Amino acid sequence: MQNIFFNTHHAPIGAFASFTLGFPGASGGLGLELGRPANQNIYIGLESEEPLRYELLPFYEEVSARSESERYEAGLHAPLASAAQLRSFERGGIRREFQLGTDTWSAGDLTFRIHSPVRSIPDPELAEREDLRRALVPAVLCELTVDNTRGAHSRRAFFGFQGDDPYSAMRVLGDGKADGVRGVGQGRHLAIATQDADVRCGLGFRLTDILEERSENLDFGLGVAGALLMDVPAGERRTFEFAVCFYRGGIVTSGIDCSYYYTRLFDRIEDVAAYALGAAPEILAASKASDDLLAHSRLSEDQRFMLAHAIRGYCASTEMLDRDGEALWVVNEGEYRMINTFDLTVDHLFFELKMNPWAVRNVLDQFIETYSYRDEVHFPGDTALYPGGLSFTHDMGVANVFSRPGHSCYEKTGLDGCFSHMTHEQLVNWLCCATTYVAYTDDQPWLARRLSIFEECLQSLLNRDHPDPEQRNGLMGLDSSRTDHGAEITTYDSLDKSLGQARNNVYMGVKTWASYVALERLFAAQGRADLARTSGRQADLCARTIAQSLEGCCIPAVIGEGNTARILSAIEGLVFPHFHGDRDALDPEGRFGNLLGALKTHFQNVLKPGVCLFPDGGWKLSSTSNNSWLSKIYLAQHVARAVLGIDHAMVTANADAAHVEWLLDPELSYWAWSDQMVSGRALGSRYYPRGVTAILWLSEE
Amino acid sequence: MQNIFFNTHHAPIGAFASFTLGFPGASGGLGLELGRPANQNIYIGLESEEPLRYELLPFYEEVSARSESERYEAGLHAPLASAAQLRSFERGGIRREFQLGTDTWSAGDLTFRIHSPVRSIPDPELAEREDLRRALVPAVLCELTVDNTRGAHSRRAFFGFQGDDPYSAMRVLGDGKADGVRGVGQGRHLAIATQDADVRCGLGFRLTDILEERSENLDFGLGVAGALLMDVPAGERRTFEFAVCFYRGGIVTSGIDCSYYYTRLFDRIEDVAAYALGAAPEILAASKASDDLLAHSRLSEDQRFMLAHAIRGYCASTEMLDRDGEALWVVNEGEYRMINTFDLTVDHLFFELKMNPWAVRNVLDQFIETYSYRDEVHFPGDTALYPGGLSFTHDMGVANVFSRPGHSCYEKTGLDGCFSHMTHEQLVNWLCCATTYVAYTDDQPWLARRLSIFEECLQSLLNRDHPDPEQRNGLMGLDSSRTDHGAEITTYDSLDKSLGQARNNVYMGVKTWASYVALERLFAAQGRADLARTSGRQADLCARTIAQSLEGCCIPAVIGEGNTARILSAIEGLVFPHFHGDRDALDPEGRFGNLLGALKTHFQNVLKPGVCLFPDGGWKLSSTSNNSWLSKIYLAQHVARAVLGIDHAMVTANADAAHVEWLLDPELSYWAWSDQMVSGRALGSRYYPRGVTAILWLSEE
């Protein structure tokens, strides 16, 4: 990798928390419930061979904490002197080993490793408490190793941070109540802790005030910086273990009152620390297993990097809540922090089914029970209303505020662009998720309980095609009355009409086709031949409409509306029958051969420079927009290789390298993994969870 | 008042919360647990006669919330248009009526009044729940009046804010559950609410996006600004009522686990709003009573302003906590947020006894039970240690983090300046508070329970004078072993040695004398003649030492150490026997006539330009420092007039006008009431509670 100084998440699962680190300056830190890095000073360093000269990893800024102490000494002018001096390690001498479960920095005689294993959460309705504790402990483990075997004198190392909570002070942990846990933290919610009795903990106005402070003054409560100090004698090599911990007690959401699920498992942050430190051997083994998962795969180095980076982003956005004793699963939408944005849920689907299938069911149920609605529909430019049906909201709220039932925080009426409704897309998303959940888990009890919803969804889809069954063509033809005579949009809300308009969109069309195909199978298996037949007929109509719209080499982005844009995302919906193992549907010689052939032709003709390739080889989702989304590119790459059988080199060759370079931008890699790349620059959907679509790559052999 | 645009607090009692308002720009707002104004946009305004042109009070900044919406539209460049236009009312046309319980702004046809009555909290061990709810409801009431009687069309008024919580989103309140409460808020902790069914509530990226938004889009959850909208038809005059509410649930402190006491009385912020709005008539009457308290007093306009401003600062810093079902009283130290700083407690004493005497007892008990310690003492420059005794910590922690038992967050060892120990001062402060509490309340059961503490304190005082009883002179002669051979300081930590050094300091000396005088009476009344005799002897010694140190016209700040500074604060300690009604002790012809005469001579000779007067007539606590503290000036003014009988004109004339001008500084009045004035500029101890010493002025007739 060309640039090793990019931020990435080191996140426990389900805690809406991240120890973000990697971008130089006060650009990372212990972030809880944030849509951005915490921007704290993180102090990781070691005394050099020259006493009192400390060298640090470059994750801090030389702050004028002088001003912090001056606040107390309005009338004094005596300088605060400290013998300690700080400097960053030379950038060129710093090495980083970035993997899925571990992230390791080394410089000089210092090694710092963060362990954030990626693992499943057992179904909370069935799991043992101890298994839930292991999976959900809101902490990441860090190891700091000092190799002073060649040193001439004892050297002091440290790990600390400067918190930025507006409400509560920094503090020294260590009343001895929780298994000898000691450390520094802020309020009740952040901490860096250890059980190592050789480590001292302290606060000061500045790091330099802590490093050389006498031990009895280390508890200085006015300090805004905190650090743990370790002395390593000459000739020794020592490793110290730390837990970076998060804890938010009490009810944390509004709209729906929830607490963090982990508060059922841990009483306070000291308990979190004690558990994590006590479980260190197990955590280290788990992070190694996560590393191995990718290291033993056939993915290229670029692919591994992107997948690991993306999974970290996903984990940091997850939030497992407790609502009246039951688990409520949330993925927050990166910098936007929207709750369970449905058009992200459908992209997280493949990763979640692999890791936590119960979470998929949990979210589908939430949408049914609280975030669904029924509407009417209208033709564009026509005021007449026709029966609509069931659909689902774009999201469930934002930043721990649940929106009112039946409404997202995002959707407004009267619009036809960004912030309009996504009624059709969320209907299709529910079906894509639900049919895939059933196909993957074979959860028949749930299906039996929810079968009427599938039926309602089918009727809703039909109504959105055309009120007259004879005139249906399989595509969305009418917009929701919720738009109040505006127009529905798609998840690609910030692109132009090529992807942003829902009606007659080929991206939406192929997903709709996939829904009909899945419904046909599902209803057939349930002995509902009538509904299966209806679904199958719609699948045929949809396939035919799309296939027939091939104009020469390409399918227009919006069918039948004179749109000349070309979109890569046309092929996206093919992922569902593929993931369902529906070989019939994807047989090039089979029932949908025309559709498949048209999409393949289309794809091969648009994946070209000047159409859907950027000059650097990166993929351009639409020929008419410079805004391209990595999560969707990852998905399309998978479909191109695994479904359309496009040559691996053509799909992957320069593209992955370009995409990696986008993520490693020396300025924008502050945002960790980001989705929306405008001409390769991360300008939207930053700090984002959606990149886990790349998990599909692992299934390709 | 020359400048009406100064910040002041509008604060409920005991909620560590303030609706701060008055300084132009985004400089006030709904602050919870902050050591500074919340720096939020506060939107208070009215549509002008010209439709869509809105005029606001100047408490907002035209923000580029454009950038907020742009985050969602990385690829789009269509401008977000809004028909509404904002402008501030002309400053010259704005009027303010600033009182103790109300603060009223008027401009054009708009009047906005904030009610924050100052009232007592009944002793929580004895009080009825309903009385506690009335006193502790964490809300302030606002009235917005639109006079559209001469208007030609309906005009829209609004009240809103833009929150800045890093963790949770803005939201629209109003699920109808809590007595029809609706409004806008942030997370679970801030809200502006109403029960007026004619008011609409909404969120938007900017205020302008809300003002002209269609009603069905007002729930836009991504909005970062929130407002309540009111339409007043032509020809009408209407007043709308709002509750500005605060609520922090769960455990909020560490070190000692506490929740806000009000969480026992209210379940959530909607309940707070419903209660406050329901109690509006009572609250309005109470704020009127607070206004009348000062309006009917004999205080000058300058005095009323300073006292009202200071009381508001005190209320905003109060925090009534619930520790395992028992009340724990906290006053936070303004911008520093230290918990129950003892050298502030002793200054808050007079106000607290008047309002909430149980709170004084509560804090004294906390100091005894958790924040006391026992030490040894040493002579300066000598390593030999002698018995010391009981004393108390400088504070109990900072910003909701309680420090470990027996330790403050502030005090360090090995120092002789700022951040050193204040052992002797806090011992004296405990005695001043405790003897005054007993004198004022005659709480004999408490005295009986704590009598041994008084005895220990006396012994500790003696030990700090001289280990050899024969060599005692009544003053502090030895420093605590906690300084590790440094030196103790006083509350005047940021001044030079004139007030900063504790040992042999005349300020400390007179307070020590007052402690002995009070102990003599207390022990005598308890039939402890031996201890009364010892106390009385020490009082005599102390008085003699100080009186004898009069060198010509003045007493040196530090007695017997060659210090030539002159300090006004020498007379401070006289407040205690005066407040106790101990006429004997203050009889100029009586037992301590020499001390009183010396102090009066001293005072009259230092209250002169070039010594202890600034050029503007403001008081200068020390001749050798430009750092002067208003809280202490207020106290000294009271002592000069009420105890020493100094001519009222000499004490008050130019001084009060100068002090008012300091507080109304066009830049530093951002900080509401502040204490530390360096050459008249508020550079330390800002946003501070300590000014309630001015309550003593009310007792002068």
Given this model, what pLDDT does residue B67 score? 64
Residues in B 624-653 with any Cβ partner in A closer than 8 A:
625-627
Residue A371, phi then psi, degrees to nearest 5: -115, 45
pLDDT, tens digit, for every residue of A384-425? 999 999 999 999 999 999 999 999 999 999 999 999 999 999
Q: Given CB atoms, is A681 within the 8 Å cutoff of chain B? A: no
Q: How far apart are CA A639 and CA A574, in angstroms?
A: 7
Sign of the CA dihedral running A480, A485, A490, A493: negative
Calculate mean pLDDT across residues B603-621.
95
Q: Which of A138, A117, A143, A134 is nearest to A293 (CA)?
A: A117
Residues in A 326-345 with any Cβ partner in B closer than 8 A:
335-338
B100: tokens are: 């103790």
Given this model, what pLDDT does residue A64 score? 53
pLDDT, tens digit, for every residue of B285-319? 999 999 999 999 999 999 999 999 999 999 999 99
Residues in A 529-568 with any Cβ partner in B closer than 8 A:
none
Report the gap between the CA of A418 and the closest CA in chain B (Å).
7
The H or E element spanning position A452 is helix A444-465
Given this model, what pLDDT does residue A432 score? 98
Calculate mean pLDDT across residues A81-95.
90
Please state the pTM of the whole predicted model.
Answer: 0.96
Which chain A residue is nearest to residue B167, measuring alpha carbons? A33
Contacts of B175 in chain A (CB under 8 A): 255, 404
DSSP B328-370: EEEEB-GGG-BBT-HHHHHHHHHHHHHH-HHHHHHHHHHHHHT
* Residue B270: partners with Cβ closer than 8 Å, 6 or more residues away: B173, B177, B178, B181, B191, B193
A271: tokens are: 């308990």
Choose, out of B167, B269, B412, the residue to mutate when testing the contact with A (most A CBs < 10 Å).
Answer: B167
Contacts of A567 in chain B (CB under 8 A): none
Q: What is the CA radius of gyration of chain A?
A: 27
DSSP B393-431: -S-SEETTEEPPTT--SS--SS-SSTTS--HHHHHHHHH
Contacts of B73 in chain A (CB under 8 A): 418, 493-494, 684
Contacts of A397 in chain B (CB under 8 A): 169, 221
Rounded alpha-carbon distances, angstroms, from residue B367 to A200, B342, B363, B392, B447: 28, 9, 6, 6, 15
Q: Given CB atoms, is A405 within the 8 Å cutoff of chain B? A: no
Choose, out of A177, A409, A416, the residue to mutate when testing the contact with B (most B CBs < 10 Å).
Answer: A409
Answer whether A71 sits within 8 Å of B337, measured CB to CB. no
A65: tokens are: 């904490």
Given this model, what pLDDT does residue A701 score? 73
Report the gap between the CA of B141 and the closest CA in chain A (Å).
23
Residues in A 466-485 with any Cβ partner in B closer than 8 A:
484
Answer whether B419 sits within 8 Å of A221, measured CB to CB. no
Mean pLDDT of chain B: 95
Q: How far apart are CA B137 and CA B139, in angstroms?
A: 6
Answer whether B401 sits within 8 Å of A494, measured CB to CB. no
Choose, out of B34, B72, B224, B259, the residue to mutate when testing the contact with A (most A CBs < 10 Å).
Answer: B72
Residues in B 164-193 with any Cβ partner in A closer than 8 A:
166-171, 175, 187-188
Given this model, what pLDDT does residue A334 score? 97
Which ipTM did the prediction report? 0.95
* Candidates A74, A219, A408; nearest CB to B676: A74
Contacts of B209 in chain A (CB under 8 A): none
Q: Given CB atoms, is B371 within the 8 Å cutoff of chain A? A: no
Question: Residue B160: helix, strand or coil by DSSP?
Answer: strand
Which is it for strands A85-88 and A53-56: parallel, antiparallel or unpaired? parallel
A102: tokens are: 């571990």
A314: tokens are: 């996903």
Question: Residue B375: helix, strand or coil by DSSP?
Answer: strand
Q: How far apart are CA A24 and CA A369, in angstroms?
A: 45
User: Strand ranges (DSSP E) for B214-325?
Assistant: 225-232, 236-246, 259-260, 318-323
Percentage of chain B modeled with pLDDT above 90: 91
pLDDT, tens digit, for every residue of B492-537? 988 888 889 999 999 999 999 999 999 999 999 999 999 999 999 9
A662: tokens are: 């986008």
Answer whether B496 sits within 8 Å of A412, measured CB to CB. no
Q: How far apart are CA A383 and CA A122, in angstroms?
A: 50
Rounded alpha-carbon distances, angstroms, from residue A77 to A209, B496, B620: 17, 10, 19
Q: Given CB atoms, is B296 within the 8 Å cutoff of chain A? A: no
Q: Given CB atoms, is A679 within the 8 Å cutoff of chain B? A: no
Given this model, what pLDDT does residue A63 score? 62
* Candidates A75, A418, A676; nearest CB to B495: A75
Q: Read off the pLDDT band of A592 (50, 70, 90).
A: very high
3-state secondary structure A355-402: HCHHHHHHHHHHHHHCCEEEEEEECCCCCCCEEEEEEECCCCEECCEE
Q: What is the CA radius of gyration of chain B?
A: 27
Question: Is B77 a residue whose pLDDT tops 70?
Answer: no
Which is it for strands A397-398 and A401-402: parallel, antiparallel or unpaired? antiparallel
Given this model, what pLDDT does residue A81 score? 63
Contacts of A252 in chain B (CB under 8 A): 168, 188
pLDDT, tens digit, for every residue of B352-394? 999 999 999 999 999 999 999 999 999 999 999 999 999 999 9
Which range, of A164-178, B114-128, B338-352, B412-426, averages the lowest pLDDT?
Answer: A164-178
Count CA atoms closer than 13 A to B228's CA, side-chain side. Answer: 25
A462: tokens are: 């039909």
3-state secondary structure A459-493: HHHHHHHCCCHHHCCCCCCCEEHHHCCCCCECCCC
Given this model, what pLDDT does residue B1 score? 53
Count CA atoms closer than 13 A to B39's CA, side-chain side. Answer: 8
Given this model, what pLDDT does residue B498 score? 84
- Counting every residue written for chain A, the total comes to 701
Q: Which of A140, A160, A103, A187 is nearest to A19 (CA)?
A: A140
A584: tokens are: 């019939």
Given this model, what pLDDT does residue A67 score? 64
pLDDT, tens digit, for every residue of A469-492? 999 999 999 999 999 999 999 999
Calculate mean pLDDT across residues B119-126.
96
Contacts of B251 in chain A (CB under 8 A): 188, 249-250
* Residue A313: partners with Cβ closer than 8 Å, 6 or more residues away: A9, A334, A672, A673, A687, A688, A689, A690, A691, A692
Total Cβ atoms within 10 A of residue A422? 30
The H or E element spanning position A87 is strand A85-88
Q: Which domains does chain A possess?
A: 17-73+80-269 (2.70.98), 297-699 (1.50.10.10)
Residues in B 69-128 with any Cβ partner in A closer than 8 A:
71-76, 78
pLDDT, tens digit, for every residue of A508-563? 999 999 999 999 999 999 999 999 999 999 999 999 999 999 988 999 999 999 88
